[in-house]
Amino acid sequence: MATKDDILAALAAVPGPDGHTPLDQSGAIDGVTLRDGKAFVAIRVDPAKAAAMEGMRAAAEARIKALPGVKSALVTLTAEAAAGGPTRPGAAQPRRPREAQPVAGVAKIIAVASGKGGVGKSTVACNLALGLAALGLKVGVLDADVFGPSTPRLFGITGKPDLAPDGEKMKPIEKFGLKLMSIGFLVDENAAVVWRGPMVMSALTQFLRDVAWGELDVMVVDMPPGTGDAQLTMAQTVPLSGAVVVSTPQDLSLIDARRGIAMFKQVNVPLLGVIENMSYFVCPHCGGRSDIFAHGGARHEAEAHGAPFLGEIPLDMTIRETSDGGAPIVVSAPDSPQAKAFLAVAERVRTALFETAAPRATPRFVIE
Ligand code: ADP
């Protein structure tokens, strides 16, 4: 059975980012995880040279896969945190992307995005996915929020993905009828890596292509929050049929949401609509409704951009408890008013996707 040391020894045969120093001595290895025969290695590289590092990445992966007892290996390229964080203004824009290729067997891919973190994007993404499944669709969730993957927490998953019968691809983890894949299944929670556009693209492409998704009607992609280069790259790397932007009613969040809307416009991804989360509060004792923040801003914002308003989700303790507890409200209390709010959103998304969606234009990158 291979150990972490065996992985490092195997990487000695692969030249590191400078082209000659062996990877194990290059100082570029950011983390090695090995559990149940599943290996994950992060290699830190200069974001500007990421595209040229693909050969090194693939060679490292092949070496690890060849070790006895290693069932699957995933090697990704990461970058150290730059001052100001991964989405700071003025960060290098991604290069012109490859054409986004369809994923075999997957009919529609939608992005769930937000202009900033903490608005409940992941909570909405998972309940939306469960709502679509409740409508009879085959649904997968790709947790592409590499900055803070929440699928393990939201779905209560601690295991690691297995290798598919073909021996090549990873099997998504199945829970509540959904197929799930997340970087959080592979890296330790405290692995403090910050991803830049090109690295994110490398990991994301692997998750799209090297996971045995099978036949899906809809794949829901939980995007990283924000509108920086990583997000923009992603919006172009994934062959998206449409995007959903989650916002809270506060003004600041709406300004951010506006950036999210603009980002999808830039890359010609149709905006399916805007969801207002934490929209209002219903008192659990008296049933009275309070609009804590100026309510209705997301609807206004959506309409101002000619995008449908997909619905509002209350600020509610059970939504938080169920999503933090690993059984989101749509499965744990499907008849509750809160679950019905998500189901109504899911119905509108299904309509937008399958009944009214015009064929999307070829993705085009317009910022030079
Ligand atoms: P994001 O993906 O935007 O960072 P999360 O989905 O992780 O946000 O949500 C952030 C926190 O807010 C979580 O603890 C989650 O349970 C909670 N939360 C999200 N939506 C709601 C809601 N409608 N009512 C109450 N709590 C919520």
Distance (angstroms) between ligand 1 centre and the Cα of 120 equals 4
Tell me the backbone φ, ψ of residue 45, rounded to 5 degrees: -135, 170
For residue 316 and ligand 1, the question of a CB distance below 6 A is answered with: yes
Structure tokens at 107: 């009919």
d(C-alpha 238, C-alpha 224), whole Å: 13
pLDDT, residue 202, reads: 75
In single-letter form, the type of residue at position 319 comes to I
For residue 320 and ligand 1, the question of a CB distance below 6 A is answered with: yes
Q: What number does the ligand 1 atom closest to the CA of 222 have?
A: 2
Residue 186 neighbours by CB under 8 Å, 6+ apart: 33, 38, 40, 74, 160, 161
In Å, what is the CA distance from 36 to each residue of 4, 33, 39, 329? 12, 10, 8, 31
Q: Strands across the sheet with 29-35, in order?
A: 29-35, 38-44, 72-78
pLDDT, residue 136, reads: 96
Q: What number does the ligand 1 atom closest to the CA of 317 have?
A: 25
For 337, the enclosing helix (H) or strand (E) is helix 337-350
For 196, the enclosing helix (H) or strand (E) is none
For residue 329 and ligand 1, the question of a CB distance below 6 A is answered with: no
d(C-alpha 198, C-alpha 194), whole Å: 12
Substitution site in 123, 126, 145, 295 for ligand 1 pocket (most atoms within 8 Å of beta carbon): 123
Within the chain, what is the greatest distance between any pair of CA atoms?
A: 70
d(C-alpha 346, C-alpha 103), whole Å: 22
Return per-residue pLDDT of the chain as tens, 368 residues. 888 899 999 999 999 998 999 999 888 887 788 877 888 888 888 777 777 888 999 999 999 999 999 988 888 887 654 333 333 333 333 333 445 778 889 999 999 999 888 899 999 999 999 999 999 999 999 998 877 889 999 999 988 888 888 878 889 999 999 999 998 887 765 554 555 556 667 778 888 888 999 999 999 999 988 887 777 877 888 889 999 999 988 766 678 888 888 888 888 899 999 999 998 887 878 877 787 766 677 788 778 877 789 999 999 999 999 988 999 999 999 999 999 999 999 999 999 998 754 444 444 443 33
Indicate the DSSP class of residue 50.
G
Residue recorded with tokens 């290895």: 29
Substitution site in 146, 320, 336 for ligand 1 pocket (most atoms within 8 Å of beta carbon): 320
Q: What number does the ligand 1 atom closest to the CA of 313 have?
A: 23
Distance (angstroms) between ligand 1 centre and the Cα of 123 equals 5
